[in-house]
Structure formats: C-alpha cells, structure tokens
Structure 1
Amino acid sequence: MKKLFFLLLPLFLLGKLVDGIAIKVNGIPITLFDIEQAQRELGVSKPKAVQFLIRYSLEEYEIKRLNIEVTQEEIDNGIDRMLAQSGIPSKEILFRTLSLQGISKDEFLEKIKKEIAHSKLYRMVASSKVAQPSLQELRDIYSQNMERWKIADRYYITLYMSRDIGVLKEKLSNPLRFSRGVQIENRVLRWGDISPELQNILSNLHEGEFSKIFPFGGRYAFLYLSRKEGERVLEFDEVVDEIRNRELLLRQKRAVDSYFEKKRATAVIEYLR
C-alpha cells in the first residue's frame, strides 16, 4: 500500500462508483477503476486484481447476508490498537497525518469499519471448522523447524528512521544514497529488552540483510542486521504459544479459503466488459 501501510484494506475498496462496471458478483459491482486501482496498490497483474476483487465482493455479500454489524466501541478499540502498534501518540495526530496524505477522517473510519467486519466474518467462518492443535502436533512443528527458533543474545543493527514513508522507501531501494530526512543510528539490541514485534523482525533476518519497513515510535523504520552474537535455540516451552497461534492462523486461513471457494462456485458472477 502506498501510504499508511499498517492499514489492512486499500482505499479503493470503499466502493465508490467512478467508472464503468466491469463485473458483478451477486449483484455487487466491480468497476474498471477498482481493477486499475487494485493493480496499482497491490502491485499485481490485472487477472490477479480481478480475482482479489471477486473474493472481496463475495466477503462483502456474506457480511450483508449474515447481518454482521460493527459497533462504535469496536471501531474505537480498533483505532486504539492501531495507535499502540504504530507508535502514533493520539487520534488527533493520526487524523492530521491522514489529512496530509489526502485521506479524510470519514474515509478512514469507513475503512476501519470494513476491516473489523471482515475480521468478524473470518472468525465466524473458522470458529466451527478449526480444531485446536494437540500438544504433540505443536512439538512436531517445533522439531521440524529448528532453524526458526534460533535467536541471539545481541543484535548489531543499523536503524533507518523517517516520518516520510516515501523517503524511507527510496532509501531502502538504495541504502548507499544520501537521503535527506532519514535518521540513521547504529545500535546493539539485546533479545530480552526488545518488543515481540521487533523480536519477530530480527528472528526472520540473516546477517547482511535489510528488514521491511515497519512502524516505529510514531515514525517509520527499517533496519540492517550486521551481525549476531550468542546464538542459541529457544526451548519448546518458550515458543509453544507462538507455535499454537501460528498454526491456528494457518488453519483458519485454510478454512476461510475453502469456505469462499465453495461460495464462489455457487455465486452469480457476470462479466460485463
């Protein structure tokens, strides 16, 4: 996504009819503009953009059919979680940042509402179809992925930070290029002192690799991992909750994908142009 990348659903999914209708899914229109925007914002081919939008329209149809509603409290809680994850200190600063990026408060709130509705749909679909993994299944996953549980005592990194995500993207594409507005710091991080989010980023990096861009203290950042010291393998008891959560998410995704494959087979899909 181009701007506030921590938002899950791109803005083209807000349902504005600004161009000719190309496809209808159970009566829900997909316009030529929707398809072009999906291609640009998701960085995919036209056929993949069409498939994404058909799936999204099927989800919208199910939300309406199942009368899934979103309360104001759920919206407020969703915004609070977003603020905590992104490091933005207040709603006022968030809305001001959005305004500078050309996103109105109403558009943002509608976007959050849609994200929550889709999340509730996924939970509803998966709740009756997904079994909890057994302890033995979790142990098997642990033993089959030992590299995944390797950590280090200390991580020597270079941290690149900016309030402008566009500038930071340019820096990530060419780290040796001078970029005004990017703050660079060398740091040594100890595993026990960093957040779970940063632990997850570091555990997926090898020496000599750059991370993806992530929210960091009200700004955006990426890091370069130069070296690690004091490597060890986490014990099963230290990661069992993480393994369980990952496995549940994987099973839920499979259940939801299977559900919508069946819904698509019976949907009325009209290709108009």
Structure 2
Amino acid sequence: MYKIFLTIMLALTLSAEIVDGIAVIVKGSAITLYDIKKEMQLSKIDAKSATDALIRKALENQEIDERKISVSSGEVYDDIKKTAERNKLSVSEFYEAVRNSSGLTSEELKEKIKEKLLSQKLYSAIAYSGVSEPTEDEIEAYFKSHKDSFAHPSGFKVLIYQSTNKQKLQEKIDNPMFYSPDISSNEQSLPYDRISPELASLLERTSLNSFTAAVPDGKGGYMSFYIKEIESAKETGLDSVRNQIVNMITAEQREQVLGDYFARLRHNAELKMIRNVK
C-alpha cells in the first residue's frame, strides 16, 4: 500500500511539473517555458516575439503533417552537397566548417536542413497562387528606395593565413604575435565581384584589423583572413542586381501571403495561453 501511495504521489508530482512548464497549447501541441526562453536566447528576441515564432512553427508543423509533406534523406544530402560545392568544399569539410562556426554537429545540421526544406515545400504549396512576377516599374522603384542596401565594398586587402594544424592557426587568431613555421601567409587583394557570395559575406561581417574564423581551405587544411583594408564602397547598377531584386520582392510577397494565411490559421486554431514568461 505504501509503495502504491508513493507511485501515485510521484506521478502527480511529475504531472504537475510538466503542466507547470507549459506556456501555450496549440491544437494539442505544447510549447514550454523552456522552449520560449531557449528561442529568446538563440534569436535574441523578447518573450512575446519568441512565443509568436514558436506558435507559428507549431502551426507550420501541423500543416506539414496534415498535407503529408515529406523530405527524403537524399534531398537533404543534395542540398548540403550543393552548398558545399558553392563554397568549394567537400561535404566533410563543409560539416567541419559549420561545426566550427555554429557548433552544430552533422546530424543537427541535417535536421536544420530538413526543417528548411519542409518549410520551403509548405510555403510553395500555400503561396504559389498568391505571388506574381514583379513588373519593371516595381523593380525600378524597389531599387531606388533601397539603393543604399545594394552598395558594397569594391574589395578587400587581406593577409591569408593557412595551416594544416588547426590548433596552431587558432592560436594565431587569438594571439596575432604568435609565430609558427606551420603557418604560411600571403597578402592578396580580393575584388568583391570576383569572390564567392559566401566569402564576400564572411569578409563583410569581419571588422577591420580582425581575423575571420578558421575555415577549411579545400585542400585538407585551414585558413583565416586578416582584414587589412576595406576598399571604398561601390554603387551597384540596377542591371547587376535585377535578379536579386526580383527574388527580394517575390520573397516579400510570399511572406505577406504566408503571414496572412497563418494569422487566419492562428485565429481559428484551438489556442490556449497558460502563462507568460517572466
């Protein structure tokens, strides 16, 4: 009898802890206080924004299930392979670069890619009929109103440090005065228009007189770029960014359609707010 009593009390305690941790229930799916706090930390947003994002994600996942949308492991691998090829890396080197930059393991990366592809398929199914090709007038107007955002450096003067020994290269990054014969360096000028978009983005995110993170060099070793000089910004012409603008306008239209769709879905969903994050 005593054992039965203990078992019942333990079950009630665990149940209370679980309920106490739930903040929102979306059509039967629970969002916990832990989920919200984690999203706040990862996305650097406030509690309301984190809660809204998780509710939207829950609704998306339920739509994916109801529409029987799926993504195969082959589709995930193909996406990873294409991204690796754009960066002139093998798949294994790409996994390592992601692990170094974000801390994600290969399995965690695959899960992120799967989520991305599932969302893309869902978005296509929902927004396909509601998005139209932008007109030339719309493209020109968008370019004029966002002209500053299309300006970019004309190039970068860098010192490229390379080594097969990642630990020693990292020591160089942490302590610029460190010397090792295992690290080679060469100075180069990298025109913005002649480097990959991924490398351009990496260099743009790096402050002057600073090192980038160590990344695979595509030859079995590692490299880091030290930014010596950022050459003056270059104004971009409409023709060179036309496709980019079309994609941006289309993305904004798609997000508007999706936003309206999920707002209606949320309004009609069985949604129960239990408590707010404190």
Q: If the TM-score is normalised by the length of the shorter chain, which range does it land in?
A: 0.5 to 0.7
Residue of structure 2 in register with 1:155 after alignment: 156
Superposed, 1:135-154 pairs within 5 Å as: 135-150=136-151, 153-154=154-155
Matched, 1:228 2:219: no
Q: Secondary structure at the match of 1:128?
A: helix
Superposed, 1:73-152 pairs within 5 Å as: 73-85=74-86, 88-91=89-92, 94=95, 103=105, 105=107, 107-150=108-151
The separation in 2 between residues aligned to 1:59 and 1:215, in whole angstroms, is: 34
Compared CA separation, residues 60 and 94, structure 1 to 2 (3 A): same
**1:61 is aligned with what amino acid?**
Q
**Deviation of 1:272 (Å):** 3.1
**1:262 is aligned with what amino acid?**
R
TM-score (norm 1): 0.68
Q: Secondary structure at the match of 1:189?
A: strand
Residue of structure 1 in register with 2:28 after alignment: 27
Contact 2:153 2:230 in 1 (8 A): no
Equivalent position to 1:265, from 264, 267, 273: 267
For residues 19-73 of structure 1, give each alpha carbon's deviation from its aligned partner in whole angstroms, at most 9, with x where no partner exists: 5433211111112322232222222232322121111111111111221111233
Runs of 5+ consecutive residues of structure 2 not aligned to the other structure? 1-16
Q: Secondary structure at the match of 2:157?
A: strand
Q: Count how many residue pairs are aligned between Structure 1 and Structure 2.
A: 245
Residue of structure 2 in register with 1:242 after alignment: 244
**1:263 is aligned with what amino acid?**
L
The separation in 1 between residues aligned to 2:250 and 2:264, in whole angstroms, is: 21
Q: Secondary structure at the match of 1:118?
A: helix
The separation in 2 between residues aligned to 1:242 and 1:114, in whole angstroms, is: 24
**Deviation of 1:263 (Å):** 1.1
For residues 167-207 of structure 1, give each alpha carbon's deviation from its aligned partner in whole angstroms, at most 9, with x where no partner exists: 89xx8xxx9987999998754112342123345667x7899
Residue of structure 2 in register with 1:13 after alignment: none
Residue of structure 1 in register with 2:67 after alignment: 66
Structure 1 residues 36-45 or 112-121, which shifts more? 36-45
For residues 228-273 of structure 1, give each alpha carbon's deviation from its aligned partner in whole angstroms, at most 9, with x where no partner exists: 25x6543332221121112112221222122111111111111234
**1:46 is aligned with what amino acid?**
A
The separation in 1 between residues aligned to 2:70 and 2:209, in whole angstroms, is: 43
Compared CA separation, residues 132 and 160, structure 1 to 2 (3 A): farther
The separation in 2 between residues aligned to 1:244 and 1:144, in whole angstroms, is: 14
The separation in 2 between residues aligned to 1:97 and 1:198, in whole angstroms, is: 14
State the structure with more CA Rg: 2
Superposed, 1:30-41 pairs within 5 Å as: 30-41=31-42
**Deviation of 1:128 (Å):** 0.9
Residue of structure 2 in register with 1:12 after alignment: none
TM-score (norm 2): 0.67
Structure 1 residues 214-223 or 30-39, which shifts more? 214-223
Runs of 5+ consecutive residues of structure 1 not aligned to the other structure? 1-17
